[in-house]
Structure 1
């Protein structure tokens, strides 16, 4: 029993073995770190985890990789990770559109997207599109391939490939299932990026679950080294060294984390080791693992009393990359099992290590391998290449190893990932959108402790994240900053894998008739000028399976609320003068002053005459 209890305690302490790499930022994309409550410009190669938020503003897009899974954000999308660990990727979509491609899904892994209208569980590998429109109180899940399950109103139902489910309302949501609409511009963009990645050669020396593997062939080459096996050498300028072109950020629960500036700068800095061979640096990934364990930075920090003169009164800190065979001993709180897992692909025999400072590391002997910066620039997350300090070879030779973390207390800038200048101009989502609760099926962890409440405790032990006991005590003293998401528990959830669509389900199947009126037309290229407002096809029979609620207009919701090519065109005099691309109409549509109240919505003169409201049949989710 003692062993079982110890395992449970350690499992609670160990951090996740995976993160989400932010690998694409196009346009104005903003980031809010867990517990900070302040927005900053998003940074490529940032490792996102539980509690982190993203906002893609007008004409902006973002892309993240969680291993082989790809998550893409459309313009005007508010997204966050409610929970990201080894068991689940639980996402919150408060507003906007997601496109998710899952290449591999193990039996003990789960993907969930939570919206104000319902929770969506992605059950199989495939491609999924999720839209959330808080103004219309509607969520749409389109399954291009795969299987999903929707939980809303206390019940659950499946959505199969080539189907779309509409969930409307929050307190008493109504649901419908229809054939999937053709792809729009966002789907086409995501499909093109998927196809581009599929055209790449399959990874030969690293797992497909290694974040960042897809960039290596474009920026370097592989070779077989007699001493280390297959190594990867980047195409870089003379004088380049690992962990020199980027910055340090404070990312809980790992602590000091390297954020590299290079487009390929993720995998070689969070997995594997570096060695100096044939006059250049080479990355050694080690033995292939199905899911390698992420590390914040695989370096050892150096310094000592003789360094003070080179950095002024505040002192400085230096670091050097670990070489193959050298053990990484985390400064954050982990179990012995975790130490073995994070090192096993790079170290043949991980023995008991109690002192990592009484060691001479191999790359300390490589000229130019040590990089140094002042403590102030380090804590303010300034670019190392612009603020680094030249340290003499004599000072480097006398440097003392100070451990696997820098003894520097984090600041607000450390958590943001860069300087806090001009933060007032950073776009951010509406507070009303962020404050609106979402429906969850899996119970998310407690809200992160605000950084302001953690900062004093972090300063008492510089460079080391807080343990769970300290965080629990701090959490008890703090009010909840944002309302936590309510948890929806369906009475009869469907286990994966889903049976074929023809199977009789233990619930009342939602309506599967024609799609609601006003749904968007097939995708048109941006150059094709859409026609004025077009209502539902008059040849299509009216949907009479369920009457709309009294406070809701007749069904005119759209499957893709972000960019309707035809259904809701804004006339030129209504647009902002600086908007010239057809797909930027969405911002105008979302403004409250542009949208009349539901009972006052004008109808096209070709629309069907209003019929008497039939008696409302039994809803599918009641």
Structure 2
């Protein structure tokens, strides 16, 4: 038996931003917003890997690895998104207010930058810094060589032998090693990976929920549109409620508690919509 909606249990005051949003640890928050196939997660300072869970909050030194059939998406609180193709290994380095630093050890990723926050992408071949909003694709080979493709935007690339700006519609190929070399060419090809990223970007567009939330709340908003609705509660105001939950459902039911340094015990919801209601 399903209940069409479960009133008030996930209602939250829009002026109240507790939980992870109030953390003093770094100043930005990231989460695993999409998982497909086999995806592994390694906590900072842990040796062992475990199966990744949707809505896991990420901290510096956390790593994500996708298997041969895996894909993953990391959503940042200012709206930007990093997507990982199969057999890709990414580490979070820092989540500061003005600069988000990531390391791509191997594999294919696409970064969509949606704010003025800068991103630094470190690879074995070079470091890449985004200059403006845009769509950036990085392909790091097993030998450390890297391709950086600017679909839209502007990118700076640097290593000991390189200082180069990459413009929209260009691809920069950089070899790894002390005798690193590089080439730049025009690039306008598209493949299934690019098309999938475009579809995911479209899926993240939120309409109804956006008008009820503070501007700084971006991560997890689109899921509110897909999995619930807003109702007006007397003496309270707008409240969001989930649709199609099981009879007897209650908050903090579908998921688990995890301990994260600096944040303490944090609820990781297995429900696709379970980011905003539990963390803001």
The alignment's TM-score, normalised by the length of structure 2, stands at: 0.86
TM-fit CA distance, 1:199: 7.3
Contact 2:42 2:64 in 1 (8 A): yes
Counterpart of 2:19 in structure 1 is: none
Equivalent position SS for 1:58: coil
Contact 1:153 1:172 in 2 (8 A): no
Counterpart of 2:7 in structure 1 is: none
Counterpart of 1:174 in structure 2 is: 181
More strand by share: 2
1:28-43 to structure 2, matched below 5 A, reads 28-43=38-53
More helix by share: 1
User: For residues 169 and 125 of structure 2, what CA distance do their matches in structure 1 show?
Assistant: 21
Is structure 2 residue 34 aligned with structure 1 residue 27? no
1:288-327 to structure 2, matched below 5 A, reads none
Counterpart of 2:90 in structure 1 is: 79
CA displacement, residues 509-545 of structure 1 (integer Å, 9 cap, x when unaligned): xxxxxxxxxxxxxxxxxxxxxxxxxxxxxxxxxxxxx
Specify which of 263, 266, 273 is matched with residue 264 of structure 1.
273
**What is the aligned residue count?**
255
Contact 2:174 2:181 in 1 (8 A): yes
Contact 1:152 1:167 in 2 (8 A): no
Counterpart of 2:194 in structure 1 is: 187
CA distance 1:200–1:58, shift in 2 (3 Å)? farther
CA displacement, residues 122-160 of structure 1 (integer Å, 9 cap, x when unaligned): 11111010011132x311100000101001225421101
User: For residues 128 and 264 of structure 2, what CA distance do their matches in structure 1 show?
Assistant: 32
Counterpart of 2:54 in structure 1 is: 44
Moved over 4 A (4+): 199-202
CA displacement, residues 401-441 of structure 1 (integer Å, 9 cap, x when unaligned): xxxxxxxxxxxxxxxxxxxxxxxxxxxxxxxxxxxxxxxxx
Q: Which runs of 5+ in 2 are unaligned?
A: 1-22
Counterpart of 2:69 in structure 1 is: 59
Contact 1:32 1:54 in 2 (8 A): yes
Determine which structure has greater relative contact order: mean sequence separation of CA pairs < 8 Å that are 6+ residues apart, divided by chain length: 2
Contact 2:203 2:222 in 1 (8 A): no
Q: Which runs of 5+ in 1 are unaligned?
A: 1-12, 272-622
Contact 2:36 2:72 in 1 (8 A): yes
TM-fit CA distance, 1:234: 1.4
Contact 2:74 2:82 in 1 (8 A): yes
1:589-604 to structure 2, matched below 5 A, reads none
Specify which of 226, 237, 240 is matched with residue 234 of structure 2.
226
The alignment's TM-score, normalised by the length of structure 1, stands at: 0.40
TM-fit CA distance, 1:255: 1.4
1:494-573 to structure 2, matched below 5 A, reads none
TM-fit CA distance, 1:266: 0.7
TM-fit CA distance, 1:183: 1.3
Equivalent position SS for 2:32: strand
Counterpart of 2:100 in structure 1 is: 89
TM-fit CA distance, 1:227: 2.2
Equivalent position SS for 1:76: coil
